[in-house]
Chain A
């Protein structure tokens, strides 16, 4: 692959965020904040049963409230085109598929009026018995099929992988091995909870729709929204230059934007709709709960002979979403006999979605906890045990890795963490009433590119380059990192580059998901820069014409994508203190050593990795969406009850990386960095808690009741 030209390199420089001043003053414009003339407000209505049918609707009292313009329900809502994604078909039937589903909307002149009137709408229901509990022994678990695009695309799981894999004879190897482990790990429902609630501000103008939307991909949103409204995509413009976090929940869930568009069409006024925090727990996805059985077999030298990872996970009857929970196990360690399976329990619950490292987040908690248990069973140090089982090629596909520096991460991380001073005996160190322990776990996440990006570059004779691509910045630093990539690709200082993103009026871009953004968008920008150079030389003798010059290029093909397995890696080390009397766990130090290829911006990538690790700590210790089996809703549906890590929960967090570029992934040599940071953290903490206390917690989160005798 060609290198990105540039001297001096903007790539690799710890540039401050270009949008920093806007963000620290609060003047960066998020979806709700666009000034729209004569806008009205929408407040949604939600089902109060988990399964059944709406039998009656009484909107009279609400419609009589001052300021109310309309009340939409399934009885009067506009018809939608049947979408590929069933979650988007709002208000089309009287069927209720989960508690909290949209059943209607009140549109009023003010938010206060809409909200007050929403409380006056009465629905009658014919409920049927609901089924919301995930158990591994259910007799109706089914193999996921085509979950990637919900029935329309190949691949069984969300990432396009097959549901099952089988090599050799895992059962026979597990029966005969001298060292064996058979353990079950569980992870609960987790909610993404970006700080900016999901929002759509929509207006119709001459049959065309403008949507200011909090989305991880304006081009993808445009496709989804246009599809369900039966419009050609070029009649829908999605604008989203700043996004207040997403963590996966702003890729697929767009039912709120569809609802707002229907309302705006009905009242012929622009409509503003921001979900409340409570509503987000039923309407914009979550990480589905999992039950994972892991079996490992090893010989007397600590070499794995068999690995089996069997997953049961929850999904919604309304949409067959399936996380790739055991796919990480297919690539982490070598062993001749292996099996992974995924099975779904379709329930009367809200629709799950992508949440930062979907699948790997849950799966690596289980696998890396099991690896710790197995290291102890083999009498080996957990770092050395992993290194002994490091594969030379992808253990199932046989493809070489484009780059894999996991061993270097384990060794260098261990050195920085002071691992060699560690006494392996559990419950052997104290500081007053605190029990002290340390643990390690590996991290991994794919480093793909997604199709669908193009970049345009416009240059003027004064050397100003405008770079256009509908990419997204969710806090990932895209405004800044794409500027750095473009500067190097064009061979100019960053001051001569102006990047525009987050608007479907720009050339299309793939979503900010799957840790693929920089790889996909950066490749497209490099291709456009190369094309600009060619056109300048061939048609203009190397001089920019007076009227300027514009070129556009699609993301180029990368034949190496079929020849190599492309993944980021890491090793995480946790030091914990556990109160001997109360079981309170504090994470004194988290240290991550990562292999994310060439780093575009060390300042922003450090933040992403540290943020991922801290979310991983939050997943390990605090977060747990509690689904009430009697009613089928998440009871703790706000920040008071669903605790995410707060400032005082966090102590030392360090992220480092090996300085290795990947020769195959893309023109920059980078790999994905957005998700690998959260992968493995929970296992490192659980392993450290075991080391501190002698108690093995296999069920997240690690709350104090699980540590008390």
Chain B
């Protein structure tokens, strides 16, 4: 069955008709031509398709497009400052720290890091937080690694991803 929906992607509104079986990830990649989020497993196990949906990180492959009428979606392409202009500080830091190799998981890593920093700012604890009741989260390397473990990197750039994020987190 086809349904017409509206999605706001990286600040631009799109009206499109989708099969009710279509995932948000496939709607972005196949229908809207936004291939910034990647398909690595299609099962919510790798994180390559991580998006910000209404400001929170979520997996595009586990979301049905039809269930996101009116949603505000941000991809790594939209984190950069429009018109080919400046990169997001996380993007600059990933380049400087060489926090990727093949680059396929990278947009998801960066969007995830963006969402993760907001979660920490809001005081959300993680599995390794010493005091889950604390309102101030100190993002040490262990916290960053734990909170980024939903994003797999087969090239295994982890030892560069953590300092790349830490540098932005500690600014």
Contacts and interface: CB of A to CB of B under 8 A. Distances in A.
Contact of A611 (B79, B101, B162): B101
A171 interface: no
Interface string B79-91: 1100000010001
Interface in B87-140: 87, 91, 94-96, 98, 100-107, 110, 128
A195 B98 contact: no
Contacts of A442: none
Interface string A651-663: 0110000000000
A195 B95 contact: no
Given A33-B29, A607-B98, A475 B103 contact: yes
A256 to B, nearest CB: 15
Given A25-B87, A26-B35, A195 B156 contact: no
Contacts of B33: 35
A19 to B, nearest CB: 7
Contact of A25 (B29, B39, B79, B128): B79
B62 interface: no
> Which secondary structure dominates where chain B touches chain A?
loop
Contacts of A645: 156, 158
A604 interface: yes
Contacts of A610: 156-157, 159-160
Interface string B31-52: 0010111111111011010000
Contact of A648 (B76, B106, B146): B146
Given A33-B29, A639-B152, A607 B110 contact: no
A638 B41 contact: yes
A245 interface: yes
Given A243-B102, A608-B101, A614 B107 contact: no
A30 B35 CA distance: 9
A394 interface: no
A16 B100 contact: no
B21 interface: yes
A376 interface: no
A26 B107 contact: yes
Interface string A406-446: 00000000000000000000000000000000000000000
Contacts of A276: 41-42
Interface string A600-616: 00011011101111110
A109 to B, nearest CB: 10
B154 interface: yes
What range describes how many residues of B lie at the interface? 35 or more
Interface string A242-279: 11110100000000000000000000000000101100
A569 to B, nearest CB: 21
A628 to B, nearest CB: 20
A379 to B, nearest CB: 36
Contacts of B38: 26, 30, 195-196, 244
Interface string A619-663: 000000000000000000011100011111110110000000000
A603 B98 contact: yes
Contacts of A23: 100, 103, 106
Interface size class of A (residues with CB under 8 A): 35 or more
Contact of A26 (B26, B77, B101): B77
B10 to A, nearest CB: 10
Contact of A194 (B75, B142, B154, B159): B154
Contacts of B160: 607, 610
A26 B33 CA distance: 12
A242 B102 CA distance: 8
Interface stretch (A110-118, A130-138, A486-494, A538-546): A110-118
Contacts of A230: none
Contacts of A196: 38, 40, 102, 104
Interface of A: 16-17, 19-30, 32-33, 35, 110-113, 116, 193-197, 242-245, 247, 274, 276-277, 474-477, 603-604, 606-608, 610-615, 618, 638-640, 644-650, 652-653
Q: Which 4 A-B pairs have the closest CB atoms?
A: A26-B36, A475-B102, A244-B104, A23-B103
5 contacts: A16-B96, A194-B102, A245-B154, A475-B103, A638-B45
Interface of B: 19, 21-22, 26, 29-30, 33, 35-43, 45-46, 48, 75-77, 79-80, 87, 91, 94-96, 98, 100-107, 110, 128, 142, 144-146, 148-149, 151-162
